[in-house]
Amino acid sequence: MSEHDVERRDEALERRAREVFEASVEQLDVGTRARLRAARQAATAEIESRQRPAWQGWLPVAVAASAALVAVLLWRAPAESPVPVASSGATAAIDALEIVAAGDDLDLVAEDLEFYVWLEQAGLDVPDAHDGGQG
């Protein structure tokens, strides 16, 4: 059976189903038709009242704008990776001490005596506060 024959058979079936349906509708009494019409109108009114909230219409736009913002931020970000503030082990203590000692205000460091005790126990040099941390 060719595709053309199948299409013709389907069209004939549709036409016959429509004729049978229309004949059955015409045999209905006026009261049943009115109830069916009212039920159809109530169903369509309910569907229309269930429309999406207005903000859902803007949701795709907001997602697209957010994605564009992230893309621009990533594109404009510096290519270099940031230098770590401190590395592991004893080097971290030395780096942290150099950062603190390089500042002009050493009063904060002088107040933390436990830090200096720890430095001595670790065997690291304690900078002299009088020479500006150069020692």
Radius of gyration of the chain (CA): 41
Cα separation, 69 vs 92, in Å, equals 37
Cβ–Cβ under 8 Å, residues 93 and 120: no
Q: pLDDT-based confidence at 99, cuts 50/70/90?
A: low
pLDDT on residue 11: 93
Mean pLDDT of 46-52: 75
Mean pLDDT of the chain: 76
Q: pLDDT-based confidence at 25, cuts 50/70/90?
A: confident
Q: Does residue 98 sit in helix, strand or coil?
A: helix
pLDDT on residue 96: 67
Token pair for residue 9? Answer: 């058979």
Contacts 24+ apart (CB under 8 A), 28-37: none
**22 or 127: which leads in pLDDT:** 22
In terms of Cβ atoms closer than 10 Å to its own Cβ (0-12, 13-18, 19+), residue 95 is middle
